[in-house]
Structure 1
Amino acid sequence: MNEVTSLLKELFQVLFLISFAVGAILLLLLLKRRLFIVSNRICASFILVSLIPLWSGYFRDTENLNWLAPVQLELFYPWLFGPLIYLYCIALHSSARITLLRTCKHCCYPLLVLLIHQISSQFGDTQLAQLWQHLYLKLLYAQLFCYLLLSFRQIKVGQQLIESQFSGSQNLYWQWLKLLLNGFALIFIADLAMLCLLLMDVMQQHWVMSLFTLSESIYVFVLAAFAMRHPQLVFDRFDVSQKNRYQNSGLNQAMAEALARHLEDTVEGEKLYLDNELSLSALAQKLRVPEHHISQVLSVQLQQNFYEFINRKRIEHAKSLLSSNDTQYNNILAVAYGVGFNNKSSFNTAFKRFTQLTPSQFRQKNQFPEKKIL
């Protein structure tokens, strides 16, 4: 039994080390980007805090090196997860500015907790110290739960802002955000369950700490792997919080109308909408104009966001394919891929939004239209 326990500890340490290394690479990439926007700063801070339990978990069970485990930080860093993940969602989706004061307001609770803990430790084994020990975990889990709810609410509110700048790639952005939040929520639930087992004397404290660190290491590894596989989702300019975005654009009425015509002609003529990874920034580079000018023209001149503009053209192209007798597009999924969508679900949703029909219903009504006699 001891040999199995020892083997598991060694395996855990290897996993902790690998995840720490991968997470550290992601952290360095976030810090070295030229476009070091607010959301990337907060994401880097979140990754840094997530690396602390991996560092601690590796050295805690390493003979002669356990003094390197940051024991004091273990009381402090868990309080940072909730505020950082919430501030990250705000930085991505909200028009509200992330100021230093706002950041300090959300991150002052960990400092307050550390201060209270230091004061209570001076009282030894008194009733005050015991009361704080009972309250500590309850307050921590309550704080994490509240910030998780706020974060899920924030990304729900921010859906329209993402759609305003991304066409076919918005599903990947939702995958990133859902991975970030759902993964953290799973760790929260698992940690809460293990705590209950600990209180019922079903599980030892050492195994609770090891399993928590294991879940955290898997979380960090998956986040880093996803970010490195889709670097444009995390590292590029994914900051849709543009307050007063057209105030100083320098684009007058005549220039805006000319750009609107150029935008329509280029996207339609070159069929740029067929690119499933087309984004506002990619279109701006193609047209050699600033992103905010295109965004302004879409919003003011064309009265639609980027998502609507691109997907409307995709749906028009899809309607022609569904009405044709081309055997290449007998399958609805082939049509979806053929017009620039990444999956059938998003194609069906967009098609019904613009036509009030599903693709199958449209095909049944229009595949063999009667020719009008002129």
Structure 2
Amino acid sequence: MNTSELNSFIVILIYGSLVLLSLLKLTNPLKVNRKANFWFGIFLFLWSTFWMDEVLFLITDSTVEFHSLFLVKLIQFFTPIVFYFSVLFYTNPSFTFKVTDVKFLLLPVAFLICLVLIKLGFFTPFDYLSIILILIQALFYTGYSYITIRRHQKKIQQFSSNTEGINLNWLEYIIVVLFIVNIIYVIYNLLYDPKSLNFFINTVFLMVIYWVAYYSLKQKEIYPLEEKQRQELISMNENPDEEEVKRKLITDEELIKIKTHLQSTMNSQRPYLDSELNLIKLAEMLSVSTHHLSYVINTGFGKNFFQYVNEYRIEYAKKLLKDTGSKFSILGIAYESGFNSKTAFNTTFKKLTGQTPSEFKKISSDL
């Protein structure tokens, strides 16, 4: 099989995989992140259309004219904004469209106008203007999506003690890879023969698609299903130092009272050993509101919820690591201390102590 035939096979795999994954996301068998998965499914379908002309060429054995896929080219320009909408609903499932959100359509409309001008013969299909506009839109919405995910990652640390399954890291990595690949592709379109890069680009895209399939299908519900709890968590600011801490939610006396109760509960009942501990559960144990508890942790301890809980977990893990008679492995200690994976345990431990758990255990045993 030569390179050309292999590339054709990869194109078929890409198109078929994207269409199948799109169907799975739209039907959403697990019924999680419903709005986000709906938009992500549409994004995947639109993404698949970028290989439609190559698939049709393989089927008909003749080059597909630009005007034949004109309607497909029209809707393709909405791909970046649809991706952004999926990110928006992953990070805020209660988001509703407002009149002011019409601004998101400005770039796609500009592209549609450009495409109509191409159709009318003012520009050739591969004119520099079209390529530059595609690049601008891709950069804008992937960049905006990346910023949205980074804000989300800060926000979830205000209410979750384990963020691995809900931090949307997989989307962040995909954005970075697509950003790099699109830059390379556009530069080659402008300066070189794009056909020479097709095999490399398609191979990378196929790997990215399988990565997307694996992580998107295992993505669990990010926020609680109960509407009131979800709204409480979504309304939290990702940077409490900037807003919430500057204004007093409770009196200093009440703050000290809740702070003392919190410390007492953490030391006596050790709720941090529950890997599913979140702000809602801890607030219920203390019989206070989630906003008040978050305020106490942010103001009284100068930390977010994630940092506060995991410091207790690391201190508990240290005791287990120092215990020479312990039969727990590093993974066992991670689970015993309230972490839900060895990766999260190692990362948090190294960040707080400057050592890996294995290094800490070895040094402790040598003393």
TM-score interval w.r.t. the shorter chain?
Answer: 0.5 to 0.7
Give the Cα–Cα distance (whole angstroms) in 1 for the partners of residues 221 and 158 of structure 2. 17
Give the Cα–Cα distance (whole angstroms) in 1 for the partners of residues 30 and 330 of structure 2. 43
From 172, 179, 182, the counterpart of 1:178: 172
Q: TM-score, normalised by structure 1?
A: 0.66
The reply on whether 1:109 has 2:110 as its aligned counterpart is no
Give the Cα–Cα distance (whole angstroms) in 1 for the partners of residues 13 and 292 of structure 2. 50
Give the Cα–Cα distance (whole angstroms) in 1 for the partners of residues 86 and 358 of structure 2. 40
**Which amino acid is the alignment partner of residue 339 of structure 2?**
F
Corresponding residue of 2:297: 298
Corresponding residue of 1:230: 219
Deviation at 1:306, TM superposition (A): 1.1
Cα distance per residue 1:76-110 (max 9 Å; x no partner): 3444344454566677779xx98635532232211
Please show how residues 179-328 of structure 1 align to structure 2 within 5 Å.
179-185=173-179, 187-189=181-183, 191-192=185-186, 195=189, 199=193, 202=196, 219-220=208-209, 222-233=211-222, 240=234, 242=236, 263-264=262-263, 267-281=266-280, 283=282, 291-300=290-299, 302-328=301-327
Call closer, same or farther: CA 1:215–1:79 in 2, change over 3 Å. Answer: farther
Corresponding residue of 2:240: none
From 43, 48, 52, the counterpart of 2:42: 48
Cα distance per residue 1:124-146 (max 9 Å; x no partner): 3xxx4249823101221243234
SS at match of 1:313: helix
**Which amino acid is the alignment partner of residue 275 of structure 1?**
D
Question: Is the 1:166–1:306 contact (alpha carbons within 8 Å) kept by the matching residues of 2?
Answer: yes
Structure 1 residue ranges without an equivalent (≥5): 370-374
Corresponding residue of 2:336: 338
Q: Taking every aligned residue pair, what percent have the same amino acid on both sides?
A: 22
SS at match of 1:129: coil
Give the Cα–Cα distance (whole angstroms) in 1 for the partners of residues 354 and 201 of structure 2. 48
Give the Cα–Cα distance (whole angstroms) in 1 for the partners of residues 29 and 106 of structure 2. 24
Cα distance per residue 1:44-63 (max 9 Å; x no partner): 43431321243675695367
Call closer, same or farther: CA 1:19–1:283 in 2, change over 3 Å. Answer: farther
Whose relative contact order is higher, 1 or 2, with alpha carbons under 8 Å and at least 6 apart? Answer: 1
Call closer, same or farther: CA 1:99–1:297 in 2, change over 3 Å. Answer: farther
Corresponding residue of 1:139: 133
Give the Cα–Cα distance (whole angstroms) in 2 for the partners of residues 49 and 197 of structure 1. 29
**Which amino acid is the alignment partner of residue 307 of structure 1?**
F
Please show how residues 159-178 of structure 1 align to structure 2 within 5 Å.
159-170=153-164, 173-178=167-172
Call closer, same or farther: CA 1:194–1:116 in 2, change over 3 Å. Answer: closer
